[in-house]
A and B are shown apart, each in its own frame.
Chain A
Amino acid sequence: MSQEPEASASDVTVPDALAPKDQSRARIDVSAVAAMAPQRVETSTVFECADVDVYYTDFRALRDVTLDVNSHEVTALIGPSGCGKTTFLRCFNRMNDLIEGARVEGTINYHGVDLYQDEVDPVEVRRRVGMVFQKPNPFPKSIYDNVAYGPRLAGVKRSEIDDVVEGSLTRAALWDEVKDRLKMSAYGLSGGQQQRLCIARAIAVQPDVVLMDEPCSALDPIATGRIEELIAELKTDYTIIIVTHNMQQAARISDMTAFFSVQANEMGQRTGELVEYAPTSLIFTNPDDPRTEAYITGRVG
């Protein structure tokens, strides 16, 4: 895992348990790298997407998306409902595989490896590309067991799990609130706490990328603010791709913004497409495409 120079120079302190550990990563990596590619290409580009189409059975939900995602940045996917931004997000960890009839065409390269080639095991992809969902979805287990779930699957030693749990919860800014009730049900937490728990759970497996699907849409403004602060801190360690309905949120937290729009064909099927992809500051001040401008100024969508 490559650490950007500006990231290590940042004033955010990283707890030891979660600082990228070469040993533990190496242990998890061995089989997968063998399955994927002989050597990880050192690049600041994490994902390269070219002409990505997504179909649900015969219905084309998304077409011709081409964009690159940079490491240690927050990339926001915005656009009106039904434009395929969540569908696109779920391509990055092959979550669409779980949907009957979903099919992805085009190429998505992850560190130079085609994610959709036959030899790639989606399970290995998901250990590197974690996900936080729209609605907080903790398991009906204790707070501790929620965070420990992923590391246990990855074969982290029993003696190390305590540290991983504490580190992840600290990183997710939840430790102080839950350290005295780790054995209690996760359902006793508030919505915002549950979502931070889900973030802790996702980063406990030390992923490379964290996908977030409208992580604040079920939360109040205060909880949303905390999650946004958290995202800003997390990008020192992780590459983050976030879907959001909230344009101010995209403007506040993201480095790059992709604006999607939706067009209906003659049969009334609505297919999403990428309209514009640019640095966030540019998209919100000087968009190229009139559709982007219409959307961000609130005239459409």
Chain B
Amino acid sequence: MSLTQDRPELTAADLQTSRSRRARSHTVRWLFMGAAAVTVLVSALIIWTVASEAWTYISQVELDKLTDIGWFPRRGLFDLSTLLVNTLQISVIAMLVAVPSGFGAAIYLSEYAHPRVRKVMKPTLELLASVPSVVLGVFAISFITPSILTNFFDDINYFNKLAAGIAVGLLVIPLIASIAEDSLRAVPLALREASAGLGARKVTTSIRVVLPAALSGLMAATIVGFSRAIGETMVVTIASGGGDTSLFNLSILESGGTLTSAMAALGLGTDQVAGNNLAFQSLYFLGALLFAITLVLNMLGDVIVRRLRNRY
């Protein structure tokens, strides 16, 4: 009691903040909100531009031009299957390269590597992800095709889908390895101990307990990697050729344009394509298609990941 007696009586003003401080916190709030709004606005603008030009294309193109002998936009031949097949082939090759080595690296880093080794290797791996894709594109045509693939295939085209797929795979490895490693490390130590306690060797524990427990994360890594492979542009444009025109061809030893490289070629040649047989608008149509594919893939991934998610 004696302690509180000397204290002056509390007034409402004591608990109020000054007007200028309140104004400042309001301003800060609006600034951050503005920053958030800009990103939303830009996304909306992109979608609107792409969608409206894509709509122009769809409504004006003769539909039988969408299935033809190949992709020759300036001649008005827009065979979509050419680009879709090439995109799929290159992405699948990329995943065949990236998933085994990415998962392998992840298992090594998470289960086997000494902490000191991991401390150095994980950042190195992530550094690899920052190699510019143009470098890998050049690597594909200056090394993968001439020094490796020509030894196995006599009649390989200098620009070919196989080399492009391998290079895209190399590009995606660090991404997959990094996400996969995170999900393996998230598996509780208690499960590894339980397995070891039952007389399981490390490799058995890794394959039968840790991998299944991390399944949702591994699926996520695969899907993110696949999205990245489909969206990769520069490697494919350089290594696979045929972005501007390509004949439908199932052989992976031949050149062939993808959705992305066709867009890049169209985008680079705007002076020639503008007002020419809807070629300019086809660029936006491809963009919309690519966007839709990646969106569906990501949503699918989300569903799969949610269904497989484990509570430990």
CB-defined A-B contacts under 8 Å, sample of 28: A93-B197, A95-B193, A95-B196, A98-B192, A98-B193, A100-B115, A123-B200, A124-B199, A126-B198, A127-B199, A130-B197, A133-B194, A137-B188, A137-B191, A138-B194, A139-B194, A140-B212, A140-B213, A140-B311, A141-B212, A149-B198, A149-B208, A150-B198, A150-B199, A153-B199, A187-B310, A187-B311, A201-B198
Contacts of A153 in B (CB 8 A): 198-200, 204
List the B residue with the shortest CB-CB distance to A136. B190
Q: Which of B201-231 contact A (CB under 8 A)?
A: 201, 204, 208-209, 212-213
Is B32 positioned at the interface, with any CB of A under 8 Å from its CB? no
Interface residues on A, range: 20 to 34
Asked if B115 and A205 make an inter-chain contact with CB atoms under 8 angstroms apart, the answer reads no
Min distance, Cβ A93 to any Cβ of chain B, angstroms: 7
Known: A100-B115, A149-B208. A137 touches B199 (CB 8 A): no
Q: Which of B159-204 contact A (CB under 8 A)?
A: 188, 190-201, 204
Contacts of B114 in A (CB 8 A): 100
List the A residue with the shortest CB-CB distance to B215. A140
Q: Which of B285-312 contact A (CB under 8 A)?
A: 310-312
Secondary structure of the B contact surface, majority rule = helix
Contacts of A130 in B (CB 8 A): 197-198
Known: A100-B115, A133-B190, A187-B311. A139 touches B200 (CB 8 A): no
Contacts of B115 in A (CB 8 A): 100
Asked if A202 and B197 make an inter-chain contact with CB atoms under 8 angstroms apart, the answer reads yes
Q: Which of A161-180 contact B (CB under 8 A)?
A: none
Asked if A140 and B200 make an inter-chain contact with CB atoms under 8 angstroms apart, the answer reads no
Bound Cα distance A38, B193 (Å): 30
Is A41 positioned at the interface, with any CB of B under 8 Å from its CB? no
Bound Cα distance A100, B113 (Å): 11
Contacts of A127 in B (CB 8 A): 198-199
Known: A137-B188, A149-B208, A187-B311. A205 touches B198 (CB 8 A): yes
Contacts of B204 in A (CB 8 A): 153
Contacts of A1 in B (CB 8 A): none
Contacts of B200 in A (CB 8 A): 123, 149, 153
Bound Cα distance A119, B192 (Å): 24
User: Which residue in A98, A126, A138, A141 is a CB contact (below 8 Å) of B199?
Assistant: A126
Bound Cα distance A198, B195 (Å): 11
Asked if A123 and B199 make an inter-chain contact with CB atoms under 8 angstroms apart, the answer reads yes
Chain B proximity mask over A70-100: 1 for CB below 8 Å, otherwise 0: 0000000000000000000000010100101
Is A154 positioned at the interface, with any CB of B under 8 Å from its CB? yes
Known: A100-B115, A140-B310, A187-B311. A205 touches B199 (CB 8 A): yes
Ranked nearest first, the 5 interchain pairs of A and B with the lowest CB-CB distance are A127-B199, A131-B197, A137-B190, A150-B198, A140-B310
Contacts of A60 in B (CB 8 A): none
Is A135 positioned at the interface, with any CB of B under 8 Å from its CB? yes
Min distance, Cβ A45 to any Cβ of chain B, angstroms: 23
